[in-house]
């Protein structure tokens, strides 16, 4: 079997390496160069090992608990309240501005005569 065929078999046996290629983090050429120099030496491939089993993709409940411990719900609530207040102010300004503009109209608008200045 040629070195190229051996490399193909090696890549087929390491599906996590294919993920690097799909994500465009590495190329087949780069992996072949490593394989050409180091072969199947585990130390050479350790940086590229990723857990490829479906069970490893499940989030560990302990990690979820740690994440939840680090979340400060009071701070989140403060930010939500601040955002709600800001939206309320914007809403008030837009509705009051529209209402005031409509209330200030006292009849049909007509152009002012050119000879009248400053309410003469």
- Residues 5-42 pLDDT 10s: 998 899 888 888 888 888 888 898 999 999 989 988 88
Mean pLDDT, the chain, whole residue set = 78
Q: Rounded CA gap, 13 and 7, in Å?
A: 10
Q: What pLDDT does residue 84 have?
A: 93
Q: Where are the domains of the chain?
A: 3-53
Burial 7-42 (b: 16+ CB within 10 A, else e): beebbeebeebeebeeeeebeeeebbebbeeeeeee
Q: Rounded CA gap, 53 and 80, in Å?
A: 39
- For 72-84, the pLDDT digits (tens) are 888 889 989 999 9
Q: What pLDDT does residue 92 have?
A: 87
31-58 average pLDDT score: 76
pTM of structure: 0.41
Q: Rounded CA gap, 48 and 45, in Å?
A: 5
| Positions of E strands within 56-116 | none
Q: What pLDDT does residue 56 have?
A: 46
């Amino acid at each position: 079997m040629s070195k190229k065929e051996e490399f193909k078999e090696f890549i087929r046996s390491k599906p996590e390496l294919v993920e690097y290629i799909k994500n465009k983090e590495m190329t087949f050429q780069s992996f072949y160069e490593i394989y050409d120099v180091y072969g199947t030496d585990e130390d050479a491939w350790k940086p590229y090992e990723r857990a490829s089993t479906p069970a490893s993709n499940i989030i560990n409940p302990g990690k979820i608990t740690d994440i939840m411990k680090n979340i400060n719900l009071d701070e989140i609530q403060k930010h939500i309240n601040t955002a709600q207040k800001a939206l309320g102010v914007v809403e008030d300004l837009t509705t009051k501005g529209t209402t005031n503009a409509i209330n200030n109209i006292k009849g049909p608008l007509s152009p002012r005569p050119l000879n009248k200045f400053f309410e003469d």
